[in-house]
Amino acid sequence: MHCLHGGANTGNHNGLTALGKTIGTSKSTESDSDYVVEHSVLKYLRGKIACYLHDFRSHWFCRRIKLPPTNGRHNQLHGHQIRRLMRRVVQRSGRFLGAGRGLDRPEIQVFSRLDIGHQDFFGVQFVNCRPFRSHHDKVRMDYVFFMPPPPFCDKPRAEFDVTLEDCWYGRVVLLFRIRVRTDMKDADGRSVLKDCDCAMIDCLYDYAPGRQNCNFICIGCKPYVNQRQTLCKQIY
């Protein structure tokens, strides 16, 4: 099972800081604006989250949200559609660094390391992403090979060949977790909440068919029900 960790290499599951979902807009907080100055790719974060939800998780939402049929390329949404989807990104409960209080709690929980849950190499494979000098002595954003998302690869994971010709290549520029309110209902009629662990990857053009600049890779989705989380294996 893949797992996100926080601050130091020996970090924890609570993340190193948190960002508000208005980051990159005129409503962004002063602290989030400082993060954008420090790590400029964050100005695209809000739109990329919305595109990720549209392209890979549109089945979570009903038709009245009025989204166009997805093409999987992160390029279809207009400003009003991004706002509709971002309203579904909700505040996280519990204690974590940068959490704030009450209505001021940021929605995007940021991490610095992904532990890869390989059954043969468990505990020895990691992806580091430490983009903030304000939090880390040394900035480090690892490069990774990864399986292309749909529609660029239509093979099941079990049939995917890990070769230089088939993999994409890029730099991990952010590791984070969001909680999404879906239109699905539980047994009590309440909206089902989903925790999404994500990586924002800046692809190298020459290694990305279709020349896709940035992509979101879903590390895992966890249903959030009554303070309990169960991992769903949905990893691309």
Per-residue H/E/C for 56-121: HHHHHCCHHHCCCCCCCCCCCCCHHHHHHHHCCEECCCCCCCCCCCHHHCCCEEEECEEECCCCCC
Whether 188 has a pLDDT exceeding 80, the answer reads yes
Give the pLDDT band (50/70/90) at residue 210. low
Q: What is the mean pLDDT of the chain?
A: 79
138-150, pLDDT tens digit by residue?
A: 899 999 888 887 7
Between 167 and 78, name the one with better pLDDT: 78
Give the pLDDT band (50/70/90) at residue 214. low
Helix (H) or strand (E) holding 215: strand 214-225
Tell me the mean pLDDT in the region 41-47.
92
At residue 60, the pLDDT reads: 92
Long-range pairs for 128-133 at CB < 8 Å and ≥24 separation?
128/9, 128/172, 129/172, 129/173, 129/174, 129/175, 129/199, 131/38, 131/39, 131/173, 131/174, 132/16, 132/17, 132/35, 132/38, 132/39, 133/38
At residue 179, the pLDDT reads: 93
Between 42 and 212, name the one with better pLDDT: 42
54-113, pLDDT tens digit by residue?
A: 988 989 998 778 888 888 777 889 999 999 999 999 987 655 454 444 445 789 999 999
At residue 9, the pLDDT reads: 43
At residue 115, the pLDDT reads: 87
**Which region among 29-38, 71-80, 203-212 has the lowest average model confidence (pLDDT)?**
203-212
Q: Which two tokens stand for residue 212?
A: 């896709």
19-28, pLDDT tens digit by residue?
A: 999 999 999 9
Q: Cα–Cα distance between 104 and 91 in angstroms, integer?
A: 9
Whether 209 has a pLDDT exceeding 70, the answer reads no
At residue 72, the pLDDT reads: 75
The structure's pTM equals 0.82
